[in-house]
Structure 1
Amino acid sequence: MKTYLVGGAVRDRLLAYPVSEFDWLVVGETVESMLARGFRPVGKDFPVFLHPVTHDEYALARTERKTAPGYKGFEVYAAPDVTIEEDLLRRDLTINAMALDSDDRLIDPFHGQDDLNNRILRHVSPAFSEDPVRILRVARFAARYAHLGFKVAEETRQLMQEMVVKGEADHLVPERVWAEMCKALQETTPTAFFEVLRDCDALKVIFPEIDALFGVPQPEQYHPEIDTGIHTLMVLEQVSRLSAKVDIRLAALLHDLGKGLTPRSGWPSHHGHEKLGLSLLENFCERLRVPRNYKNLCLLVMQYHTHCHRLLELRADTLTDMLQAIFAFKHDERLEAFILACEADARGRTGFENRDYPQADFMRQAALAAKNIDTHAILHENNKGADIGIAIRKLRIAAIERFKQHYSATVKQITV
């Protein structure tokens, strides 16, 4: 059986980048011969098998022909006469169109190694334009390798832009958009994903709610960068330094969607944007099939991020109710996720990138003070139903008030 290591494993090995998955290509075989060797079929749209021992993926060499719009509109031909070069020709980028044979010799008919060395993301052939998912994939590879200096080739950017004009991006299904976005948010530089999509005019088609933020001004004294879209990407950059979790990064990215709905007559102020964007966020998450726990965090950050920024000014009852709303008394992880997203928002402004965010520790300590109240007396006074909740709320407010007084005294003493 003639096998080749292909795709990301070759690319990342040449980059001295961590290799996590090994994909193999088989030339000269059939479905029947693979089954006879004990391979287990798993491919739905084309012949892919799992190795009986290693469980790595082995795919038969194939060619593809466009038959209809969208990424599923292809006719696949997989047969023993398909060569390694023909299979590599159908791939998206030159850096993904390389293979290593059983003797570790590089097969590189489209000069992918040169593009690796020159840090270029370049399409293999005009057939690139037949699959709209490749727009997302190029953007995702930019997010993966931007910190190494990779850029999209100008001819590839132009081709992606032509695909958008022809309506190819309109055929992207929500599940695939979310899958690629989710992967991009896990990468080192997720901002590059959205920058590449915007450069080829795909952002307004795929993520119109995010695209609408560009060109929307904010008060310069609070946002020296002024543009809300720029601020949004700065927040994503900051949150990527604070956390690798997708839900936190997503919440930071989407927190200001409401500013895209502010009437022009109200610019540059955005009063009420925290609630104005909630329905927009609901629709965004519904359209892309975003997991519910991700959506819930996004909703909380959108609605309460300005509360968090003004935390030291809030009354004890307002702070208690906010902590209750974000489930701070039940889920420490949710509280921490909320704080990190808000901290990224505060730092995602020109000149504020390295500012301290005392609200973070203040909120953690306030939540801890409210959680540590003694509720035994309430539970043994025959309180029932809503009365228990009201009594606990009063105890929490009192605990937070004491904490605030202690905090203020400590800060005053340090200042003096």
Structure 2
Amino acid sequence: MKKVAYDCDVLVIGGGIVGLSTAYALTRSAPGTRVTVLEKEQGPATHQTGRNSGVIHSGIYYRPGSLKAKYAVRGAAEMVKFCAEYGIAHEVTGKLIVATERAELPRLHALVQRGRENGIPVRELGPAQIGEYEPEVRGLAAIHVGTTGICDYGAVAAHLAEASGAEIRYGAGGEAVHIDRRAALGVAVRTADGAVLRARALVNCAGLHCDEIARRTGDDPRMRIVPFRGEYYELARPELVRGLVYPVPDPAFPFLGVHLTRGIDGGVHVGPNAVPALAREGYRWPVVRPRELAGTLAWPGSWHIARRHWRYGAGELRRSLSKSAFTDAVRRLLPAVDPGDLVPHPAGVRAQAVLRDGTLVDDFLIREGPRAVHVLNAPSPAATASLPIGREVARRALGVLRA
């Protein structure tokens, strides 16, 4: 058989923080491994990574023993150390999780227990103690989580890209339009500019398009990405909030509710709510891509979600269309806010994996196929956990190479 000339050992599709962390881990754990990263945008981290609120999550929300719990707790400490080592803007601020209704108190106490099971320091607060941290915030009770922080994830991704030593192709040269996987020949990917790259293994970190990439590779992901847009405002009076303030989340959903987060630039983000996006990169209501929308509607899981959770969805939709309704949600935590305090801010889109039966995948999801590793669910707290996630994906990719 004719010997194949490979352009690289591992080809990573997706230049967000998980893809770049994987490239970084590959070149560090196996020096000499040739890594190429494909990113269809003109720079790194332009979608989920670059459109979040920059929070370094503690890991308090996640089921003990889950990948999210393990990687978030470990990743938060590693992210702070990484930022300090490379001079990337960051701060360990702590955060409040505030109960504003009596019905939320049992869930707040359950979070205290979960935090302790995950090894996270938690302080319980009464109404008067809330004011010591946040004078303008009101609630019946709260917990303070000291290990939460903020950072500039865009800068983290840019440093990972540089420090990985990988070849990174942006734009048309980084858009994978066709994938051919053959038993003896590895994986060949044709990009939008007509180039063909041959690799011994492929890593799929395509985020909003990860299920499509898996299918192009020839693997059945057994899930679909259903995009949810998270809409933000910026607080015109940032002095109302000192740090990070969250409501008690509903455990039935992987969303944290409308919260207040002071960013590394000093501005305060308010949000997000969560509404179905009409395109995978549908950052505004007018952005509609019929083929992508048809794919979402054709997936049985989408209809199961709608039937089970229509009341929750109706509330989110109302807050999306009505600034007054959004303001009412904020006032539960911050009574002093009024509609004039909320200035529209760019939205993000969450790549939420949904199973056929309508289950919202709540943990990170990584699956393997022949000569391929697919990261199929990595929304928040994936940025926080990106360094340990990258090592895990790299470990699996190196296993593919050895095989």
- TM tier, shorter chain? under 0.3
Q: Normalization by structure 1: what TM-score?
A: 0.21
Looking at both structures, which has the greater relative contact order when contacts are Cα pairs under 8 Å and sequence separation is at least 6? 2
Q: Which has the higher helix share?
A: 1
Q: Which has the higher strand share?
A: 2
- Which structure has the greater CA radius of gyration? 1
